[in-house]
Amino acid sequence: MAHEIEYEQLADDGAAQSSSDLERLGDVEVEVSAEIGRRRLTIAETLELAPGSLIALGRPAGDPVDLLVNGRRIGRGEVVVIDDEFGIRVTEVVSPRRRAESSRAAAGGEPASTAADGEPVA
């Protein structure tokens, strides 16, 4: 036996709703970090690390670094020095739409896309 479902008519104020949502989220703090590279080591290799040990990170010197927000890549940039501190000059940013799609995929358990080096991409 089929049941008819009635839906309530929704007002078309999606743009106003998203703007309001963004305003509420504007003061939320997130962690921003830069990653120059990654390398997998065995536990034995990590136990052998000592002061002076070198770890190649698999990325050529001068290549852009990954810009991460809460652990998800949102762009790339180049390392700079700002008043004796390291900083990042942003050179590319993933589109907001792609970031949202990636977040939904991660929340739903779908596999995230990967970069050429096989690392997950936000």
Its sign, for the CA torsion 63, 68, 72, 77, is negative
> How is residue 56 written in tokens?
């190649």
Please report which helix (H) or strand (E) contains residue 75, including its range: strand 72-82
For 65, the 3-state DSSP assignment is strand
Q: 47 or 97: which carries more pLDDT confidence? A: 47
Q: What is the pLDDT of residues 7-66, one digit of tens each?
A: 565 555 555 566 777 788 888 999 999 999 999 999 999 999 999 999 999 899 989 999
Radius of gyration of the chain (CA): 21
pTM: 0.60
Residues 120 and 102: their CA atoms lie apart, in Å, by 10
In order of their start, the domains of the chain are: 30-107 (2.30.330.10)
